[in-house]
Amino acid sequence: MKRTVIALICFLPLSVWALSKDSLKAVTMAAYEQSWLDSEGTIALQNNTQEVIRQVKFRLTYLDMNNRQLDYETFSVNVEVEPGMTKKVNIAAYERERHYHYYKTPNRLDQPRFKVNYELKDYNWYKRETKDEDASISDNGMVHKKKALSSFEEPSLYESPIRIFFMLAVLAFVFSFFYLVGKMARNRGRNVPAWVILSFFVTPFWAIILLLLIGRSNDYYRNDPF
């Protein structure tokens, strides 16, 4: 019995190490391409798991031809890769302004070359993020979450009619001023369409002020409260 317990204690760290090691190899880089004129590099990601890969986060370390580090960058991409399959993904090109190119990509000119080291950081993290909520995945690998509405976010049957009524009331209030401009222009012997159009540019308030200032036309004499 003691030997069994000791064996289990020794086996657990080894199994955890093996799982972490396998997870690092879940998605590997099969190939990389970038010529000196490319605005994007192309990386081929290989799925070594038994599940569909939909999200991948990885780091590329850029090296010179003497394996000295030049730079690094982390990428997060949405891509659908079936188990055992390889998929190409476009990413930002490295040093495109200085015409760098990947050393395995054919290039007849003497442009600076670089190598890359690939390191997997994470994959399929949407499963962890949607653990406690409903989620659906479309054909292009995007995750659509269904967020539960809180008590104050629940839609009301009366919300839309009230909103429409309020908008109509505001419109009626605004157009009443244009109607007033037209009525005042008519009672003063002025060109009604011209004054209504003018009120759209100077606002009905100023149109009313102008009509009050200029009064009636010379050939129009009719008693009017305005």
Higher pLDDT, 143 or 102: 102
**pLDDT tens digits for range 40-67:** 999 999 999 999 999 999 999 999 999 9
- pLDDT band for position 141 (cuts 50, 70, 90): very low
pLDDT at position 7: 46
Of the ranges 8-17, 31-40, 130-139, 160-169, which is most confident?
31-40
Task: Say how many Å lie between the first and final Cα of the chain, rounded.
Answer: 109
Percent of the chain scoring above 70 in pLDDT? 73
DSSP class of residue 93? Answer: P
Please give the Cα distance from 138 to 126 (Å, whole number). 13
Check if the beta carbon of residue 61 is closer than 8 Å to that of residue 72. yes
Check if the beta carbon of residue 27 is closer than 8 Å to that of residue 123. yes
Mean pLDDT value across residues 152-181? 78
**pTM for the full model?**
0.49
Q: Which two tokens stand for residue 149?
A: 């509405």
Q: Hunting for tokens 């200085």 — which residue is that?
A: 98
> CB atoms < 10 A from the CB of 49, how many?
16
